[in-house]
Structure 1
Amino acid sequence: MKDIIEILAEIVNNIHDFILFFVSDTLHSNATDKDLHFWIMGIIGIIIFLFVFILSTIISRMRFGITILSFLYTFTVMVVLVFAIEIQQALTSRGNMEFQDAAVGLWGFIVFFLFFAVLSSIFLVIKKFITQSKKR
């Protein structure tokens, strides 16, 4: 996993250098590194926001929309958390930084969520059955 992070870091650094070269040499701009971060991260952020907003609007209209949105948000937080833990292990040399650890951690969340979903569904079916029995 450490190798993957190093490769990704190298890719990001190369993109950074290309953008900096393009802006300063091709566009003849005196933009600083901070200016580039402001613009690039602002653009990336607004594109991601618009994608998430459109997707969330579509999902929220579905029958279990809020549940799906909650799952997606939680899953996103879990992805960040498991990779943060793996990176922390690499930086502190306490434990082994392995992609499989992150994958297994996320799988644990999915299994627990499925268990929760099954229990919730059973509860809702029983509740609906009791409500319909009382109406008769």
Structure 2
Amino acid sequence: MREAILILTEIVNIFHDQLLHISNALGLNMSDKELHLWVFGVLGILSFFIVHHFFKVLAKHSITAISFIYTFTVLVVIVFAVEIQQKITGRGNMEFQDAVMGLWGFIIFFIGYLIIKLVFRMVRRLFKRPGRRH
């Protein structure tokens, strides 16, 4: 995991330096804070439009899917925060496999939830009185 973080860090640093260079070449001379404002502002709003469209389409079919995506995204952040915390404090090993296994735990439990939900729906349909819509 350390290697993956170092590679990502290097990519971000190269991108950061290039943007600062372009900013200076255009005479904008942006500070690091101004650069962050623009990069994350643009990246954030573009991501929002894509996610918003995707979720609107998905909402017509399944709120559960939206809840899963949101929860999974939050868990990715938490899992990597825990792994980084383990590296900083020296309590435990910072390993990519640990992060993956943590996320698999959620996926396995979520599949169990879906199975239980499916069984309840099937039982409800089995005992539904004829002529009732709900």
TMscore range, shorter length: over 0.9
Q: Where does the alignment leave 5 or more consecutive residues of structure 1 unmatched?
A: none
Deviation string for 1:51-78 (max 9, x for gaps)?
Answer: 100110111112xx10100011111111
Residue 30 of structure 1 and its aligned partner are, at CA, apart by 2.5
SS at match of 1:81: helix
Task: Spell out, residue by residue over 1:84-119, the C-alpha distance to the aligned partner (whole angstroms, 9 max, x if none).
Answer: 111111111110000101111111110100001000
2:33 aligned partner: 34
Question: What's the C-alpha RMSD, in Å, of the aligned pairs?
Answer: 1.3
Q: How many residues align?
A: 132
* Mapped contact 1:82–1:102 kept (Cα < 8 A): yes
- 1:72 is matched with 69
Aligned-residue sequence identity (percent) comes to 45
* Structure 2: runs of 5+ lacking an equivalent: none
Alpha-carbon offset, residue 133 of structure 1: 5.7
Query: 1: CA distance between counterparts of 2:131 and 2:38?
Result: 61
Partner of 1:46: 45
Partner amino acid, structure 1, of 2:35: L
Is 1:99 the counterpart of 2:96? The answer is: yes
Cα deviation 1:24-59 (Å, max 9, x = unaligned): 1x2011321111111111000001101100110111
